[in-house]
Amino acid sequence: SGSIDPDELRVVLRWCLRESAIALPEERLGDLTLALFEAADKDHSGSITFEELREELEGFPEVMENLTISAASWLKPPAPPERSRQPRYLTRAYWHNHRSKLVFLGGYTGFNLLLFAVAALRHAGLGGWVAVARGCGQCLNFNCAFLAVLMLRRCLTWLRATPVAKVLPLDQHVVFHQLVGYVVLVLAAVHTGAHVANFSRLAQRDGRHALAEYLLSARPGVGGLGGTASQTGLALQGLLVAMLTFSSPCVRRSGHFEVFYWTHLSYISVWTLLILHGPHFWKWFVVPGCLFALEKVLGLAWRRAGGLRIVEVNLLPSKVTHLVIERPQFFHYKPGDYIYLNIPAIASYEWHPFTISSAPEQQETLWLHVRSLGQWTNKLYEYFQQPESPSAELKPLSRSLREKRRRCRAQVGAVGAQLSANAECYIDGPYGTPTRRIFTSEHAVLIGAGIGITPFASILQSIMYRYRRRKQSCPSCHYSWSEDAASFQVDFIWINRDQKHFEWFVSLLTKLEMEQAEQEPGGRFLEMHLYMTSALSKNDMKAIGLQMALDLLAAKEQRDSITGLRTRTQPGRPDWGKVFGKVAEERRGKVQVFFCGSPALAKVIRAHCEHFGFRFFKENF
């Protein structure tokens, strides 16, 4: 008809909302329609002409750039990205960002080679196969003991508060544990193969004993307790293969945690057999073994000292269970730390790690946000969906906890089922994570993907509490200011798939924005950036009208239509080159990037951090 009337524009925006998986009430749809219509209808004629629409589009450069691309350009394949001739692993930025890990790996490799060479040369006179077996055996003595060192979580948490944390890659202890596990399997296979080859040579030369006799019967002088080195060695090889097979990600993430858990408990049998198998293993194992046993005893004592109560449960969108747990006395932790949780009603023997999402300044309760991704977490969600009370025999809550329960719903600010609970649980921890470094940063960039916001929820709350403590007020004029508010800068980036995921922590973000609103522009210490990946980006032809309307309404109301926050939710995925380029241009100090989310996204962000020379830390536990 040559023009667009309000009803037609409303229909277009309704379908744009569906394309972007955004659910808004009809009233908000009317507000979007009105905002876009009033902005485009320059002459107030009651309709939008072609010239008026073109004039409005010119105010959005990215939209105009997309519209002016010809159809031939759309069909033309994109130019291949320029690749540096120098391999990534040889760049200066890579070595700068991974220097502690690379130095540690170099020292670890060199020490293994030294052990192998010394043991092999010492037994070279007994033949080549024996020399290889003895060299691998000496390396196995060290590596099997080192596996225990890498899982001393309490000791590693303590070391994070010492200068050693700047030298050793403590944040990578789980990755190194996995790496050393594979090294042990390879060394054990070579060690066993060399001994089998040597026994085969002896059997052929002897002629009286078959190879099976050497392998399956105890023979004095062969080694081990009572000459059982062959039998204990074969048993060890079988246990190691089973442990590593059922520790693979495909087993752990496919809902078969019990298989991983029970096979991994065979480390007790492995260490026992190693003491019987190798005459010198106990010398390597005595110190880490005692520390490991001490940690287990302390953990067991802490767990069984008394059960805690889950005082409230909130079932949030996307099958997220928010647990409010009674905080034990003398329980001290840092923002971003995690604990191991056991709920006997779900599984009496299973302990699972979860990040604490509440701030340490919150004295009476602990918060955990658990995403239903595996068998145990799904059982947890379904268990609290039951209408009956989990445990009616426990003693009633204190008055302070009842008040805390009433306020909790407002603090979480998420839409979901709120349930009263009095279930029993046990915790083990806390244990430190890389995010403990955040308060030593000059400029921190926090990136959370989905439920990966949980460590940063604790950090952001702690920042808010610390800001309130630093806030000063003049007694005469009542003017308020914050001491050193601008000395610590934070960029918080949260990436979610759809609209419902933002409901988990929308109240917390709203409070942070309110605190920021009291600051002068130069004193702002937090910048928030929200991305919704299911929404079509501004460059998508099908989202032009919707994104224009959302921008106009957000500018008019100073409020985002998707989350209700002042921060505008950006559609699509972040352009990491532009995001980190802007951070680099601000030059607010040394930049450290903290990430919690999927490994695939971690690789992308790590590569960009190396390009800009930023330190990168990923949550691993």
The two tokens of residue 37 are 């219509």
Across 525-545, average pLDDT: 78
pLDDT class of 125 with cuts at 50, 70, 90: confident
Q: Decide if 278 contacts 372 (C-beta within 8 A).
A: no
Structure tokens at 380: 């947890």
In the chain, how many H helices and how many E strands? Answer: 23, 16
Q: What is the reported pLDDT for 82?
A: 58
| Residue 3, helix vs strand vs coil | strand
pLDDT mean over 380-406: 55
Q: At what angle do helices 281-304 and 128-149 cross, to 10 degrees?
A: 20
Burial label for 396, CB within 10 Å (0-12, 13-18, 19+), is exposed
Contact, 348 vs 479, CB < 8 A? no
Beta bridge partners of 596: 448
Residues 6+ apart with CB under 8 A from 481: 471, 472, 523
Closest C-alpha to 588, from 524, 530, 517, 528: 524
What are the percentages of helix, strand and coil residues in the chain, rounded to 5? Answer: 55, 15, 30
pLDDT of residue 462: 85
Instruction: Please name the residues in contact with 574: beta carbons below 8 A apart, sequence gap of 6 or more.
Output: 493, 495, 529, 531
pLDDT reported for residue 397:
42
In percent, the amount of the chain with pLDDT more than 70 equals 78
Q: Into which CATH architecture does domain 434-471+486-534+572-619 fall? A: 3-Layer(aba) Sandwich (3.40)
Own/partner long-range contacts of 557-562 (Cβ < 8 Å, ≥24 apart)? 560/530, 561/24, 561/28, 561/31, 561/32, 562/22, 562/24, 562/499, 562/502, 562/532
> Whole-angstrom Cα distance, residue 314 to residue 321?
6
What per-residue confidence (pLDDT) applies to 398? Answer: 43
**Average pLDDT for the chain:** 79
Share of residues in the chain with pLDDT > 90 (%): 8
Q: Which of 396, 415, 429, 507 is nearest to 461 (CA)?
A: 507
CA neighbor of 309 nearest in space, from 333, 331, 328: 328
Residue 108 pLDDT more than 90? yes
CB 308 within 8 A of CB 321: no
Confidence class for position 524, pLDDT limits 50, 70, 90? low
Q: What is the mean pLDDT of residues 390-402?
A: 43
What CATH fold (topology level) applies to the domain 3-69?
Recoverin; domain 1 (1.10.238)
Instruction: Assess whether pLDDT exceeds 90 at residue 146.
Output: yes
Nearest to residue 456, comparing CAs of 356, 341, 361? 356
Distances (CA, A) of 190 to 182, 194, 536: 13, 6, 54
pTM for the full model? Answer: 0.76
| Separation between Cα atoms, residue 524 and residue 526, nearest integer Å | 6
Per-residue model confidence (pLDDT) at position 486: 44
**Residue 355: beta bridge partners?**
338
Tokens linked to 35: 């905002």
149-158, 161-170, 550-559, range with greatest mean pLDDT: 149-158
At which residue do the structure tokens 């308060």 appear?
439
- 306-386+415-431 has which fold? Elongation Factor Tu (Ef-tu); domain 3 (2.40.30)
| pLDDT (0 to 100) of residue 113 | 94
pLDDT > 50? residue 471: yes
Amino acid 184: pLDDT: 92
Q: How far apart are CA 196 and CA 112, in angstroms?
A: 23
CA angle (67 as vertex; 61, 73 as ends), nearest 5: 120
pLDDT of residue 396: 43
Q: Which residue has the tokens 């062969």?
A: 222
Secondary structure of 29-89 as H, E, C letters: HHHHHHHHHHHHCCCCCCCEEHHHHHHHHCCCHHHHHHHCCCHHHHHCCCCCCCCCCCCHH
Flag whether pLDDT at 447 surpasses 80. yes
| pLDDT on residue 90 | 72
Helices (H), 150-279: 153-159, 173-206, 211-216, 229-245, 249-252, 257-264, 267-277
What's the mean pLDDT in 490-506? Answer: 82
Cβ partners under 8 Å of residue 206, min gap 6? none
- Dist CA 291 CA 149 (whole Å): 8
Q: How far is CA 179 from the centre of its chain?
A: 19
Helix 128-149, helix 99-122: angle, nearest 10? 140
Residue 587 has what pLDDT? Answer: 77
Structure tokens at 303: 């767990």
The mean pLDDT of 251-264, rounded to a whole number, is 74
Lowest mean pLDDT among 19-23, 190-194, 212-216, 439-443: 212-216
Q: List Cβ neighbours of 130 (8 Å cut-off, separation of 6 or more).
A: 123, 194, 198
Determine the pLDDT at residue 565. Answer: 83
pLDDT at residue number 415: 45
Q: CB-based burial of residue 301 (10 Å sphere; 0-12 exposed, 13-18 middle, 19+ buried)?
A: exposed
Residue 527 phi/psi, 5-degree rounding, is -120, 130
Cα–Cα distance measured from residue 42 to residue 458, given in angstroms and rounded to the nearest whole number: 48
* Lowest mean pLDDT, pick from 129-143, 508-522, 531-545, 595-609: 508-522
Q: What is the radius of gyration, based on Cα positions, of the chain?
A: 30
Could you tell me the maximum CA-CA distance found in the chain, to the nearest angstrom?
A: 109
CA proximity to 563, closest of 18, 164, 15, 22: 22
Task: Please give the structure tokens belonging to residue 484.
Answer: 């050193």
Q: What whole-number distance in Å separates Cα of residue 351 and Cα of residue 344? A: 10
| Residues, the chain | 621
Instruction: Give me the pLDDT at residue 267, please.
Output: 87
